[in-house]
Structure 1
Amino acid sequence: MTPAYIIRKFYRALRVVYFKSAKNYSHVVTTFKFWLNGVSFNSDFTGYGIPILDINMKGKFSIGKKFWFNSGKYHAMGGRQQQCYFVVAAGGELTIGDYVGCTSVAFICHDKIKIGNHVKIGINTVIYDTDFHSLYAEARNDIPERLDGLRTKPVIIKDGAFIGGHTTILKGVTIGKNSIVGAGSVVFQSIPDEQIWAGNPAVYIRDTYKMELEVCSR
């Protein structure tokens, strides 16, 4: 074995040790952050990296069984990686179901965001149930800015949905059961069950059963 080979093997071993320790460290720190923010959660979650949380005292955030997340550049090497952001404003309600996985996401909840069971959410996906600013120029450009006309609507993602990476989901949207959203999509209208949508803006591509038939026929 050459010295270069030995150095590379040692480097790889260090990486394995780091990622194994990061899992335990992340779990301890994230558990404490969940507790500080009043999050209702199960201790069986798996996390790599530390999420950012900002849960208002009058907001609610609950997480189901077997939740897993990747947060930060060393745990989500898919490009445009960031820490996970979970933000709930006063009166907001963010609910994540059982067996949900996500990577470097941002969930910003001013009204209601509900994610069902067995949902997979790709890297750098953001979900906003609010416009953040008024749609009226007079209010938006006032100093200080007024929130007249600020709109919020619930976002619902049903069981089994798969959201491709770098997707933006806007207020008032429902993603149907087992539906798929293609990577890089901007979704501002609801998607029925068992359909594939993609694009900016996202449009209907085909039903999921057609894809299954193609796979079975190969």
Structure 2
Amino acid sequence: MYIIRKFYRGLRFMYYKMARIYSYIITSFKFYLNGVKFHRDFIGFGVPILDINMSGSFTIGEKFRFNSGKYHAMGGRQQQCYFVAAAGARLSIGNNVGITSVALICHDKISIGNNVKIGINTVIYDTDFHSLDATMRNSYPERLDGVKSRPVIIKDGAFIGGHSTILKGVTIGKNSIVGAGSVVFQDIPDEQIWAGNPARYIKDTYHIKTPQHQLVNE
């Protein structure tokens, strides 16, 4: 039994080694086909789903890392990453950003700053998808000319916990934290922790900052 387990572990190790290679090759090709501007130093496990309109744009900064799919995101309710930019939409990701099984659905503008971490199964929508007017929403075919979209801005250093939903028109401040499972529909100032549905202020981030001497010792 021990030998079988060791053999199984070895197979898993080889699979993840190969996954990084094939993920990089296939994802690079999909980026190219969708007109994505990206750096060659990204690291990916799994392959994302992309739908970038010919008049939309998607840019990715340096040192981008992502996990996509059930074998590369062992956190429950995992999915492939979705990157969608509609006609005229601008989707951008800064430097040193890490994401896992997220959906970024951009109809206007989604801007993610540098050094941002976004947890598993988080979705960011800058649009309502459907009209809030019942007459337009229930017409056949459905009328979409009244659908509202507003930019979402995630500032540098923000950390969004897994299974969160970020809605249109929201700005998340520098180094702020969104607790897991939160629904955010209003702005979060810099250096604050918010959580809940709807997300509410919990405390400032300075309460959790690591003392400088500990950083030096580590």
With normalisation by structure 1, the TM-score equals: 0.96
Secondary structure of the structure 2 residue equivalent to 1:143: coil
Which of the numbers 14, 18, 27 marks the counterpart of 1:21? 18
Shift of 1:212: 2.5
Shift of 1:149: 2.3
Q: For the residues of structure 1 that align with 2:203 and 2:146, how far apart are their CA atoms? A: 36
Deviations 1:160-187 (Å, cap 9, x if unpaired)? 0000000000000000000000000000
Which of the numbers 99, 109, 112 marks the counterpart of 2:96? 99
Corresponding residue of 1:108: 105
Q: CA 1:213–1:42 in structure 2 vs 1: closer, same or farther (change >3 Å)? A: closer
Secondary structure of the structure 1 residue equivalent to 2:209: helix
Shift of 1:213: 7.4
Corresponding residue of 2:216: none
Corresponding residue of 1:195: 192
Which of the numbers 62, 66, 69 marks the counterpart of 1:65? 62
Q: For the residues of structure 2 that align with 1:199 and 1:149, how far apart are their CA atoms? A: 30
Q: For the residues of structure 1 that align with 2:146 and 2:86, how far apart are their CA atoms? A: 17
Shift of 1:211: 2.4
Structure 1 unmatched runs, 5+: none
Q: Kindly provide the amino acid, as one letter, of the partner of residue 9 in structure 2.
A: R
How many corresponding residue pairs? 214
Q: For the residues of structure 2 that align with 1:150 and 1:26, how far apart are their CA atoms? A: 36
Deviations 1:136-194 (Å, cap 9, x if unpaired)? 00000000001242100000000000000000000000000000000000000000000
What's the % identity of the aligned pairs?
Answer: 75
Q: CA 1:10–1:213 in structure 2 vs 1: closer, same or farther (change >3 Å)? A: closer
Residue 136 of structure 1 contacts residue 148 of structure 1 at CA under 8 Å; is this kept in 2? Answer: no
Which of the numbers 3, 9, 13 marks the counterpart of 1:12? 9
Corresponding residue of 1:183: 180
Structure 2 unmatched runs, 5+: 214-218
Secondary structure of the structure 2 residue equivalent to 1:30: helix
Q: For the residues of structure 2 that align with 1:141 and 1:164, how far apart are their CA atoms? A: 35
Shift of 1:200: 0.1
Corresponding residue of 1:43: 40
Q: For the residues of structure 1 that align with 2:12 and 2:165, how far apart are their CA atoms? A: 33
Corresponding residue of 1:88: 85
Secondary structure of the structure 2 residue equivalent to 1:34: helix
Residue 103 of structure 1 contacts residue 122 of structure 1 at CA under 8 Å; is this kept in 2? Answer: yes
Q: For the residues of structure 2 that align with 1:59 and 1:43, how far apart are their CA atoms? A: 21
Q: For the residues of structure 2 that align with 1:35 and 1:12, how far apart are their CA atoms? A: 35
With normalisation by structure 2, the TM-score equals: 0.96
Q: For the residues of structure 1 that align with 2:46 and 2:40, how far apart are their CA atoms? A: 16
Secondary structure of the structure 2 residue equivalent to 1:35: helix
Q: Kindly provide the amino acid, as one letter, of the partner of residue 15 in structure 1.
A: R
Corresponding residue of 1:150: 147
